[in-house]
Amino acid sequence: MAEVNIQSDEINIEAFEDDNTTNFSDNDNIPVEHVNFEFAQVNKLQGISRKLTVFNDTHCYQSIKNKHQRKYKYRIDLAYLDPRPFRVRTVKWGWLYASLALWVLDVVLVFTGWLETSSVTFLGLFVGVTVVALMTLMGFFHYSRDTVFFRTQYGKVKLVEVINKNPDTDSFRSFITKFVMQIKKCKTAKGLNQNKFLARELQELRRLKDETVIPEASYEKAKRLIFKHEAFSATE
């Protein structure tokens, strides 16, 4: 996982070893005055690792690595996040059912072919079914998801996603509690009225879109939601 090195005047995220790392561009060059807290997660089975650093009471810096997928490293302003965490559970039951069916087939092979256990054909079939059963069981755990995410207040773009109860329940709950409180404090500190808040959130999303953190389609959808808001017509 990429390391986050805190220095006196900058956050420096070392590049991933892979050549396909997402290029990062932060033109604001926000100096780091202090780090509030950090949170790291690793899921070896799913090939996911991430680290979040909350700094200056106002921003969150993320480095995310998904095996065989794009790598992300970006900064977000906490003020534009919805403080409510959303939980999504996706269970790939089909993979589990397929694995169970294969294990049953293994049992059937044993009880119907026990007199031929020395047969090369029988042993080859038994081993083959066992391997496939293990692979489908791993597929169940790999593709099933239990995540908690935070999205922007009005554009509803998902910007922060963490694995539920990882690395453990207490650490996870502690992070979520602190993160929610930090978002609320940041909103209060901004002191923006609603119309200016909408304009600033759109500006933040445009920056993330330009940095290829969020896709064009997500940005356009968020823009439509913000434009439809009754307070947006009053933005300066």
Q: Report pLDDT for 208.
A: 92
Residues 16 and 120 placed together within one structural domain of the fold: no
**CB atoms < 10 A from the CB of 27, how many?**
7
Whether the pTM exceeds 0.85: the reply is no
Lowest mean pLDDT among 23-32, 60-69, 215-224: 23-32
Does 128 lie in the same domain as 18? no
Ranges 66-70, 86-90, 174-178: which has the least confidence: 66-70
Residues 168 and 212 in one domain: yes
The per-residue DSSP string of 112-168 comes to HSGGGTT-HHHHHHHHHHHHHHHHHHHHHHHH-EEEEEEEBTTT--EEEEEETT-S-
98 and 214 together in one domain: no
233 pLDDT band, cuts 50/70/90, is low
Both 226 and 196 in a single domain?
yes
Same domain, 167 and 75: yes
Please tell me the distance from the alpha carbon of residue 117 to that of residue 108, in angstroms, as a whole number. 13
How far is 46 from 199, CA to CA, in rounded Å?
37
Whether residues 199 and 210 share a domain: the answer is yes
- Residue where one domain finishes, among candidates 142, 166, 181: 142
pLDDT tens-place string over residues 46-83: 778 889 999 999 999 998 887 766 667 889 999 999 99
The least confident of 9-18, 61-70, 123-132 is 9-18
Residues 83 and 163 in one domain: yes
**Domain count across the chain:** 2
Question: For residue 37, is pLDDT > 90?
Answer: yes
Residues 83 and 112 in one domain: no
Range of the domain at 203: 4-90+144-234
Instruction: Examine the fold and report which residue of 106, 123, 142 is the final residue of a domain before the chain moves on.
Output: 142
- Name, of 53-57, 141-145, 188-192, the range with top average pLDDT: 53-57
150 in the same domain as 120: no
| Cα separations in angstroms, 63 against 157, 189, 220 | 18, 26, 24
131 and 149 part of one domain: no
Same domain, 104 and 215: no
Domain-terminating residue out of 107, 142, 177: 142
Q: Which residues pair with 197 in a beta bridge?
A: none
As beta bridge partners, residue 75 has 61
